[in-house]
Amino acid sequence: MTWAWENRDLVLELFWRHAWLSAIPVVLGGVLAVPIGWFAHRKPRLRGAVLGVVSLLYTIPSLPLLVILPLVIGTGFLSPLNVLIALTIYAVAIMARTASDAFGSVSPAVVDAARATGYAPARLAFTVELPLAGPVLLAGLRVVSVSTVSLVSIGALIGVSSLGSFFTDGYQRDFTTEIVVGIVATVVLALLFDLVLVLLGRLAMPWAATVRSQA
């Protein structure tokens, strides 16, 4: 622990970097996946195809994806953009299915009642379906956030620094403490993200009990 204290500037710097590299994909993934999930829920015939493509993306292992992406999108090999885009792809892949299930969990009777009262489609989606799907969406986002935070470190292998740099550096120097500090910091960050999500959920949906994810 003395090592962590002596190197607190570095730990904090990488902690922040790691936080940004995780936060952006989680937010982007959520924003992109909710409409995809809603669409998949609304068009049952396309549901299989949409979710199939999405889950195919999830099948691609992370390290190879980080190697292939620069070629596909033309970014520099060491660019943090690769990590951001790869993790956004995974976030969408996990989240789209959850979102589709979340909209599926909204009682059709409620949706019919709102429609009968004269809710226009957009208002129906935003003021009835979205809030009612909220708890399940939040549960999905929590899964996405945990797995994103732990995946960011893989970027260190191709030179994108984060708390993962403690793993590569500690391994090269045969220095266990550095690795343990990196692991602890990553877990702390994951817990912080989870806490933020739960608090945001309480604020946005004070009526809902927190739904725990199954998987």
Partner 1 sequence: MSVVSETVDWFSRAATWSGQDGIPNRLLEHLGYTALTVGVAAVVAVPLGLYIGHTGRLRGLAVAFTGAIRALPTLGLLTWFALIVGIGLTAPITALVLLAVPPLLAGVYSGVESVDRRTVDAARAQGMTELQILARVEVPLGLPIILGGLRSATLQVVATATVGAYIGLGGLGRYIIDGKASSDYPQMLGGSLVVVVVALLIDGAWALAQSLTSGRRTRVLA
Residues near partner 1, by CB under 8 A = 56, 59-65, 67-68, 71, 77, 143, 146-147, 149-154, 156-158, 163-164, 166-168, 170-171, 174-176, 179-180, 182-183, 186-187, 190-191, 212, 214-215
Token pair in block for residue 46: 């396309």
CB 160, CB 112: distance < 8 Å: no
| Shortest distance, position 107 Cβ to partner 1, whole Å | 21
Q: How far is the CB of 166 from partner 1 (least distance, A)?
A: 8
The rounded distance, in Å, linking the Cα atoms of 175 and 170 is: 5
Helix axes 8-42, 80-104, angle to 10 degrees: 40
Taking the least distance from each CB to partner 1, the nearer of 143 and 208 is: 143
Rounded least distance, CB 21 to partner 1, Å? 12
Residue 11 vs residues 18, 40, 138, 162: alpha-carbon distances, Å: 10, 42, 29, 9
Q: Which is nearer to partner 1, 125 or 158 (CB)?
A: 158
- Judged by beta carbon, residue 33 or residue 151, the one nearer partner 1 is 151
Between 119 and 175, name the residue whose CB sits nearer to partner 1. 175
CB 122 to partner 1: min, Å = 35
Identify the burial level of 164 via C-beta atoms within 10 angstroms of its C-beta, where 0-12 means exposed, 13-18 middle and 19 or more buried. buried
| Minimum CB distance to partner 1, residue 190 (Å) | 4
The rounded distance, in Å, linking the Cα atoms of 10 and 164 is 12
Of the pair 34, 189, the CB lying nearest partner 1 is at 189
One-letter amino acid at 160 equals V
Provide the 3-class DSSP secondary structure of residue 75. coil
Give residue for tokens 């060491």.
78
